[in-house]
């Protein structure tokens, strides 16, 4: 029994299970001259994967440069939001609350609040208290097309204000 436990501990230690993995850094290289640059950041779920891919497709049809990043409890790996003309962050509203690492990131970068659109997927309370513009939805895979179009239009309104 003790040998099995020791083997289990060794496997967990060797694979790094239980450690917070930093999200991959998002390229913050500026867009080519005259182009708009949009960040789409999200938690890795089936619904959000589909939503972000559809939004990317719609934005790129308009020749917008899109950078995609994922976030997790270790944070959002974007240190210089000033390069983006619009930022979309999608998170899961656990107990109708924005993820604490997203709240902290927004607080740390509140100077850019006018270019951030925060999406929270949840299933009960539909209002979110945040420093930035917010939208909410259920995580309904059947609504991806409609929501992607709606949120893309909101991002266009944001980056259109900044010539």
Report DSSP letters for the chain, one per residue.
-HHHHHHHHHHHHHHTTTSPPPPPPPP-PPPPTT--EEEEEE---HHHHHHHHHHHHHHHHTT-EEEEEEEETTEE--S-GGG-SEEEEEEE-BTTB--HHHHHHHHHTGGGGGGEEEEEE-SS------SSEEEEE---GGGHHHHHHHHHHHHHHHHHS--
State the pLDDT at residue 5.
Answer: 46
pLDDT along the chain (163 residues), means of 10: 50 46 70 91 93 98 94 84 95 82 94 95 75 89 97 96 74
Top CATH class of 2-160 equals alpha beta
Q: What is the pTM of this model?
A: 0.82
State the pLDDT at residue 58.
Answer: 98
């Amino acid at each position: 029994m003790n040998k099995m436990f020791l083997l289990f501990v060794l496997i967990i230690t060797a694979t790094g299970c239980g450690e917070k993995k930093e999200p991959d850094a998002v390229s913050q290289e500026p867009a080519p001259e005259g182009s708009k640059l949009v960040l789409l950041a999200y938690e890795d779920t089936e619904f959000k994967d589909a939503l972000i891919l559809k939004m990317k497709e719609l934005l790129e049809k308009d020749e917008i440069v899109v950078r995609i990043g994922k976030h997790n409890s270790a944070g959002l790996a974007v240190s210089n939001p000033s390069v983006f003309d619009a930022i979309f962050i999608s998170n899961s509203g656990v107990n109708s609350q924005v993820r604490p690492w997203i709240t902290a990131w927004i607080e740390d970068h509140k100077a850019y609040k006018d270019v951030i659109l925060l999406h929270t997927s949840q299933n009960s309370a539909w209002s979110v208290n945040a420093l930035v513009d917010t939208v909410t939805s259920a995580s309904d895979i059947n609504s991806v097309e409609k929501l992607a179009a709606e949120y893309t239009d909101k991002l266009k309104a944001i980056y259109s204000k900044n010539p």
